[in-house]
């Protein structure tokens, strides 16, 4: 199976999906930054890329602040986004106890394979919402 086919067939638990960074950048160009296509074509095996996963299944909880802001872009969000600032293999942090609430999550992936524009990799953070989206 090709990387594109792998991408098209992947499913995550609780209706989680990878967020389309190009679309988010088009909707929020000042707040959601992505690399220029010239830089993206040089991403290769061993490099790190940051992804976001989210789900429409869960909403903001009653004890959350009135307005949520994305820690990555500082833009207003419809619900909190949990964020990992660095790949864990580069900047190891102690395990943090964050309750699963069904929020979005930014995390780092180390690229293990590339086929044209398609990348495959391994998660390089301990994800907070793993109990819900089941990404190892």
> Each residue of 88-120: pLDDT tens digit?
999 988 877 777 778 889 999 999 999 999 999
pLDDT of residue 63: 55
> For all residues of the chain together, what is the average pLDDT?
86
The number of distinct structural domains making up the chain is 1
Residue 51 is part of which domain span?
3-89+96-133
> Each residue of 55-77: pLDDT tens digit?
988 765 555 555 666 665 666 66
Q: Is the pTM of this model over 0.85?
A: no
Look at residue 14 and tell me whether its pLDDT is greater than 60: yes
Residue 129 φ/ψ region, left for φ over 0, alpha for ψ in the -120 to 50 degree band, beta for the rest = alpha
pLDDT of residue 42: 96
């Amino acid at each position: 199976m090709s990387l594109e086919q792998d991408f098209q067939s992947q499913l995550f638990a609780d209706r989680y999906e990878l967020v389309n960074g190009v679309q988010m950048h088009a909707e929020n160009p000042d707040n959601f930054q992505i690399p220029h296509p010239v830089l993206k074509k040089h991403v290769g095996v061993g490099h790190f890329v940051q992804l976001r996963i989210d789900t429409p299944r869960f909403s903001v909880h009653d004890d959350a602040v009135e307005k949520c802001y994305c820690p990555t872009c500082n833009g207003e969000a419809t619900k909190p986004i949990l964020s990992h600032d660095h790949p864990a293999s580069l900047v190891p942090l102690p395990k943090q106890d964050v309750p699963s609430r069904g929020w979005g999550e930014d995390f780092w992936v180390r690229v293990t394979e590339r086929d044209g524009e398609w990348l495959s990799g391994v998660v390089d953070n301990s994800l907070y919402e793993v109990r819900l989206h089941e990404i190892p």
